[in-house]
Amino acid sequence: MYNMGGADVQSFAGALSTGTHGSGGIHSAYHDMVRSILLVAGEGKVYRIEPSKGITDKVKHNRFYEGNPDLDKVELIQDDDKFYAVLVSFGCFGVIYSAIIETRPMSYLKKKNDYFSGGWDEATIKTTISDIVDSLRKSEEIFHYVQFNPYPFGKNEHPSYLTRTLTLVKKKTKEW
Ligand SMILES: Cc1cc2nc3c(=O)[nH]c(=O)nc-3n(C[C@H](O)[C@H](O)[C@H](O)COP(=O)(O)OP(=O)(O)OC[C@H]3O[C@@H](n4cnc5c(N)ncnc54)[C@H](O)[C@@H]3O)c2cc1C
């Protein structure tokens, strides 16, 4: 995947349905990766929903169900308005059973954690903000995650973390 949320505790369908944004500043959210959704709606009716220029071949899809009359037909909908409405819909249209997403070759991530036991001094704040703005301006794949503790700990200190994650080498995808 070319982007993820700041954590991985959410379900994919839950993150999709609420418009969860990703953690990589230069990439769009999860939704841009989705090419096709399999939705189970009222009374168990199943729909495959895609943008108008969807990835499923309509003729082959219909021919498959004509050749297999014992199977419950999955109705194919290829329509931009309906697709984008279902994409972020809080479960209002039914249960998203699966989604086909566009991925990219695997890559390694490098993560650097800096711990500031005394909290942030002004210079660190300025450097951090300018690093973030610079990396966005250069379209670099750097994710900055700032954890600032607002409560004094010990001698009026605010222990804080700064995590930087960047994409390293594109890893050759293994054949499974
Ligand atoms: C630790 C943590 C970190 C987070 N980080 C980020 C972040 O970096 N960026 C960000 O934008 N948000 C973030 N969030 C918010 C989080 O992504 C959303 O709240 C997300 O909706 C949670 O997903 P969930 O699987 O818990 O969904 P739920 O809370 O279970 O459901 C959310 C909505 O999706 C619907 N839904 C769930 N599953 C399906 C399904 N299969 N079919 C149809 N509808 C469904 C539900 O009906 C509900 O309306 C974070 C949340 C946590 C707890």
Residues flanking ligand 1, CB < 6 Å: 5-7, 9-11, 13-15, 17-18, 20-21, 23, 90-91, 95-96
Does the pLDDT value for residue 148 go beyond 90?
A: no
Please enumerate in sequence order all residues whose Cβ is within 8 A of that of 118, keeping only pairs 6 or more positions apart, or say none.
Answer: 157, 158, 159
Range with lowest mean pLDDT among 20-34, 70-84, 94-108:
20-34
Does the pLDDT value for residue 139 go beyond 60?
A: yes
Residue 172 is predicted with a pLDDT of: 63
Q: How far is the CA of 23 from the centre of ligand 1 (A)?
A: 14
pLDDT band at 54 (very low <50, low <70, confident <90, very high): very high
Residue 154 is predicted with a pLDDT of: 74
Residues 162 and 144: beta-carbon distance below 8 Å: yes
Q: 116 or 88: which carries more pLDDT confidence?
A: 88
Q: Which atom of ligand 1 is nearest to the CA of 97?
A: 41
Residue 138 is predicted with a pLDDT of: 87
Does the pLDDT value for residue 176 go beyond 60?
A: no
Residues 146 and 161: beta-carbon distance below 8 Å: yes
pTM of the model: 0.83
